[in-house]
Amino acid sequence: MTGLRLALAEYWGDVWEAWNEFWFAPTAPAALSAIRVFAGAMLFYTHLVWSFDLSAFFGPNGWLPLDLYARERGYDLEGGHSYMWSLFQHIQSPTLLWTIHIVALVCFFLLTIGLFSRTTAVLSAFFAIMYATRVTPGAYFGLDKVNCMLAMYLMLGPCGARYSVDRLLNMRRGATGEVPTSTWANVAIRLIQLHMCAFYLFAGLGKLEGQTWWDGYAIWRSIASSEYQSIDVTWLGHYPHLMNLLAHGTVLFELFYPFLIWPRFTRPWMLATAVGMHLFIASCMGMITFGLAMLIGNLAFVKPATVRKVMDPLARRFALLLLGDRAGQSD
Amino acid sequence: MSTGGKKGDAPPRKQQPQKQQSSAGPSQGPSRTVRILVSVLLLLHVSALYLYPLANSRTSFTVRNIVQSPWLRWYGDPLYLNHGHGFFGPDPPDGFLVDYVVYDDQGKEVSKGTFPDPKEIWPRLRYHRFKMLADQLESPGRGMKEDRLRAYARQLIREHDGENAVVTERLHTIVPYEDWIGDEASGRKGKPLDDPSLYQTLTRVTQSRADVDAADAALESGAESVPAPIGPPEQIGPGGPLQ
């Protein structure tokens, strides 16, 4: 019995250690900071586009009037009470609506450039959820889910530690040393990673419920949809075997992403496939913002050292341009 | 490449003799108590991430009950976690279009169009929002489609300062591959993506300025019901001609 007890104690000790390492090992905040730059820009653009039709979508009347919204929000549609809430449910005045919109856009912009990063990250998550909730259902799609996910996790870690105005201001005050590693940067990155795995896993499982992802016609249905099409690639129809392989490859990629993205030998292949798939969706099916947002999420699987190799030279140029000698050797 | 910090930035894995000493994890960072508390929250959060998309119409009542329980919805709904991720699943969908005609008080046509229309609605993200307005007419909800269409009609009256609007939902079926490719042997020509036979008119509603005023008044007074329609929506059966 003592042997069994020791073995169990060792097992649980190992589990705790692995758990600790997975969630709480401090990591360099480079990847999180890079995600902040791109996700912030995506949030800014996404919400800037709402400006064309702000009152029509977010006002009390319009395409999605509030009374209909209250019913659709599912107060009893599914047999349960909805706890979804949007600030825009309570906004009647166009002036107030525009004021909130401008404040939100300023927040997203500040998040992108990394000024008051933690504060603007919290506010950006709040606003992103408020906008998405108000147009759900009605005008939402996958982009809103990815936007809200990225904004929500950015606020958990030091997303402005690098590639930010905050960093430049710190350097100006003489803090030109190495940016410290952070446990919360790791927590935020891990949550983005796990959320990305959920996206792909359930996208793959959902496709298994259909017929066309099995018989290969799904790619044809995707490229032949005039309403989605932005570049005509129906010439693929002359290569049915290629279309079938793309359909099967898509399902396999999505189903296996949550497993093969973790081992370092398979990770580059999964990321390369994600880049190919999302760029195809972005360019040929017109969902540029959604494709790019998913790629931003995939950045969470790129190690900070790799991110730094790409981002640091650019950041250094900015720092030298703005601070001159005070930028030192750091980024 | 490596994960966010595991190999490249995390401290090197400790050797066996140090293992017992470091069983609480890395010495940097939060205390063991904080880690345990945060771990519980992380477990709950990650469970929510995977439970919501699991709760589709075919899943067990156990999962559905969990997902519909106030305890989970209290957490997941406000954080916008309460949805699935069926991107282009189970099958890539057919397209939906909304045609409209707005008339003034003389019965003269003020505006006529269709959304989504890539030539009229830009940038692409904005086009996609209007595409969702058309597509999500078909999303679940008891009798909601007609109410949604009526809301669109009222909005078009507002936008174009009209008196009446007729709004029609149209289905654009994706051309089957075999029809598109045709058959050289039998001389059957391929069908284009926008062949008229692929379009089918589904539902048509009419709204007037009076409906707009009634809807606005109801909202201002806080009433939760949609104003009664002038008449039932026109249901157009399968095989309906292209407009």
pLDDT tens per residue across span A206-232: 999 999 999 999 999 999 999 999 999
Q: Output the pLDDT for position B242.
A: 29
Q: How far is CA B19 from CA A20, B15, B237, in A?
A: 13, 6, 72
**B98, B172 contact by CB (below 8 A):** no
Check CB contact under 8 Å for B87 and A142: yes
Model confidence at A255: pLDDT above 80: yes
pLDDT-derived band at B231, boundaries 50, 70, 90: very low
- The average confidence (pLDDT) of chain A is 92
Burial status of residue B220 (CB atoms within 10 A of its CB: 0-12, 13-18, 19 or more): exposed
* Cα dist from B18 to A7, A12, B23, whole Å: 18, 16, 9
More confident residue, A244 or A175: A244
Q: Are A279 and A131 in contact (CB under 8 A)?
A: no
Between chains, do B80 and A129 touch, taking CB under 8 Å as contact?
A: yes
The number of C-beta contacts closer than 8 angstroms across A and B is 321
A202·B84 Cβ contact <8 A = yes
Q: How far is B229 from chain A (nearest CA, A)?
A: 14
CA dist A6 and A26 (Å) reads 30
CB A212 within 8 A of CB A251: no
Backbone angles phi, psi at B129, to 5 degrees: -65, -45
Chain B residues whose CB is inside 8 A of the A220 CB are: 174, 177, 180
The chain B residue lying nearest A51, using CA atoms, is B126
Whether this model's ipTM surpasses 0.90 comes out as yes
* Binary contact (A224, B128; C-beta < 8 A): no
**Interchain proximity A68–B79, CB inside 8 Å:** no
Residue B144: band (very low, low, confident or very high) from pLDDT cuts 50, 70, 90: confident
Shortest Cα–Cα distance, A216 to chain B (Å)? 11
Q: Are strands B95-103 and B164-172 parallel, antiparallel or unpaired?
A: antiparallel
Query: Under the phi-then-psi rule, with left for phi > 0, alpha for psi from -120 to 50, and beta for the rest, what region is A175?
Result: beta
**How far does the CA of residue B232 sit from the closest CA of chain A (Å)?**
18
* pLDDT (mean) for B36-45: 96
Residue range A52-79: average pLDDT? 79
Contacts of A205 in chain B (CB under 8 A): 89
What is the per-residue pLDDT for A326? 65
Phi, psi for residue B36 in degrees, rounded to 5: -65, -45
pLDDT, tens digit, 9 for 90 and up, residues A35-53: 999 999 999 999 999 999 9
Share of chain B above pLDDT 90, in %: 53
Which residues in chain B are contacts of A26 at CB distance < 8 A? 5, 9-11, 26, 28-29
pLDDT computed for residue A12 by the predictor = 94
Query: Could you give the CA distance from residue A284 to residue A290 in angstroms, rounded to a whole number?
Result: 12
For the segment B51-94, what is each residue's pLDDT rounded down to a tens digit? 999 887 788 989 888 988 888 888 999 999 988 888 887 899 99
CB contact under 8 A, A206 and B90: yes
Q: Is the peptide bond before B17 cis (omega within 30 degrees of 0)?
A: no
Q: What tokens does B153 get?
A: 């009609």
Q: Is A196 buried (19+), middle (13-18) or exposed (0-12) by CB count in 10 A?
A: buried
pLDDT at B1 over 50: no
pLDDT class of A257 with cuts at 50, 70, 90: very high
Tell me: pLDDT of A306 over 70.
yes
Q: Can you tell me the distance from the alpha carbon of B120 to that of B131, in angstroms, rounded to the nearest whole number?
A: 12
Q: What is the pLDDT of residue A71?
A: 77
Mean pLDDT (whole number) for B224-235: 45
Contact A280, A252 (CB under 8 A): no
Nearest-by-Cβ selection for A61 from B30, B127, B219:
B219
Q: Which two tokens stand for residue A18?
A: 């692995």
Lowest mean pLDDT among A38-42, A115-119, B5-9, B85-89: B5-9
Chain B residues near residue A303 by CB distance under 8 angstroms: 1-5, 7-9
**Residue A3 pLDDT exceeds 70:** yes
Ramachandran sector of residue B39 (left: φ over 0; alpha: ψ -120 to 50; beta: rest): alpha
Share of chain A above pLDDT 70, in %: 95
Q: What is the pLDDT of residues A90-103, one digit of tens each?
A: 888 999 999 999 99
β-sheet with B199-208: strand ranges across: B109-115, B95-103, B164-172, B199-208, B234-235
Look at residue B229 and tell me whether its pLDDT is greater than 80: no
Whether residue A143 and residue B97 make contact (CB cut-off 8 A), yes or no, is: no
Most B CBs within 10 Å, among A19, A48, A67, to test the B interface: A67
- What integer pLDDT is reported at residue A81 of this predicted model? 64
| B203 bridge partner residues | B169, B235
Q: How far is A156 from chain B (nearest CA, A)?
A: 12
Q: Do A138 and B46 touch (CB under 8 A)?
A: no
* Nearest CA distance, B45 vs chain A (angstrom): 9
Q: Are strands B95-103 and B109-115 parallel, antiparallel or unpaired?
A: antiparallel
Cis omega (within 30 of 0) for bond into A137: yes
Q: How far is A171 from chain B (nearest CA, A)?
A: 23
Smallest CA–CA distance from B158 into chain A, residue:
A62
Residues B70, B76, B77, B82: is their CA dihedral positive or negative?
Answer: negative
Cα of A101 to nearest chain B Cα, Å: 16
Q: Residue B217 burial by CB count (10 A; 0-12/13-18/19+): exposed, middle or buried?
A: exposed
Instruction: Suggest the residue from B32, B88, B99, B115 to mutate for an interface test with chain A (most A CBs closer than 10 A).
Output: B88
Cβ contacts of A260 on chain B, cutoff 8 Å: none
In this complex, which of B46, B87, B180 lies closest to A194 when CB atoms are compared?
B46
Q: Which two tokens stand for residue A252?
A: 């396999």
Give the bridge partners for B98, in sequence order.
B115, B169
Distance, in Å, from the CA atom of B147 to the CA atom of A276, rounded to the nearest integer, reads 40
Cα dihedral sign for A50, A53, A54, A57?
negative
Confidence (pLDDT) at B84 = 85
- Closest residue of chain A to B50, computed from CA coordinates: A198
Contact predicate A192/A153, CB 8 Å: yes
What pLDDT is attached to residue A176? 74
Q: What are phi and psi for residue B188, nearest 5 degrees?
A: -80, 120
* Residue A43 to residue A128: CA distance in whole angstroms: 8
Average pLDDT score over residue span A166-189: 90
Contacts of B30 in chain A (CB under 8 A): 24, 183
Q: For residue B24, is pLDDT > 50?
A: no
Chain A residues touching B54 at Cβ < 8 A: 202
CB A226 within 8 A of CB A250: no
Residue A221 CA to residue A201 CA, distance in Å, equals: 21
Across the interface, do B159 and A56 touch by the CB < 8 Å criterion? yes
Nearest Cα to Cα of residue B4 among A194, A38, A198, A103? A194
Of B10, B77, B144, the CB nearest to A21: B10
Residue A130 phi/psi, 5° resolution? -60, -45
d(CA A31, nearest CA chain B) in Å: 7
